Amino acid sequence: MQKDESAGRLRVMARTDLERVLAWRNHAEIRRYMYTTHEISLNEHQAWFERASQDSSKHLLVFELGGEPLGFVNLTELRARGIADWGFYVAPDAEKGTGLKLGQAALEYAFQTIGMHKVCGQALDFNERSIKFHGRLGFQQEGTLRDQHFDGERYCSIVAFGILSHEWKALRKVG
């Protein structure tokens, strides 16, 4: 799907990726920033994969760098034509800078490959790395949903982001 191997590439997630992606997702440093923070069982993960891979609005992708799987991206097309939500994470032991390459590849895929008009993201308000990350990729902060998420102990706000296709294309020309 991607041609420049130094920038990494995305490929469709396969059943053989399930255990690796689950291990990343269940890692404490990733799990703590998710809406659901419990450890996901292999059965639960397999059931999710079966449902999601049958849903044509979902794009489950694995990010590779030098042929090594290093991250996961989920793009979900919304009912409003040309708009998608995204979620992502990198392998906990990935080199610094891998996340930025994953993000760039994911946006390239969203805008160039599947023709999205807008990609939306969300971050829990205490996830400062994700908030900065979205900014580095060119997302605009579109709002804050105050006390929108309850984690079982406390409420926290959700920061909403968006980037439009023409904004991404302009950034690509500059970069």
The two tokens of residue 58 are 């979902």
How high is the pLDDT of residue 79? 83
pLDDT of amino acid 1 = 46
Query: Do the beta carbons of residue 122 and residue 159 sit within 8 Å?
Result: yes
Q: Which amino acid is at 96?
A: K
Dihedral-angle region of residue 138 (phi above 0 means left; psi in -120 to 50 means alpha; beta otherwise): left
Alpha-carbon distance of 172 to 104, in angstroms, equals: 9
Chunk the chain into consecutive blocks of 10 residues (it has 175) and report each block's average pLDDT, rounded to whole numbers: 69 97 95 91 97 96 96 94 96 96 97 97 96 97 97 94 97 77
What CATH number does the domain containing 130 carry?
3.40.630.30
- Structural domain tally of the chain? 1
Q: pLDDT at position 111, please? A: 97
* Structure-token match 């993201």, residue found: 121
What is the predicted pLDDT for the residue at 76? 97
**Contacts (Cβ under 8 Å, ≥6 apart) of 87:** 73, 74, 121
Residue 77 structural domain? 5-174
Cβ count near 141 (within 10 Å): 13
Output the pLDDT for position 80. Answer: 79
Q: Quick one: pLDDT at residue 2?
A: 42
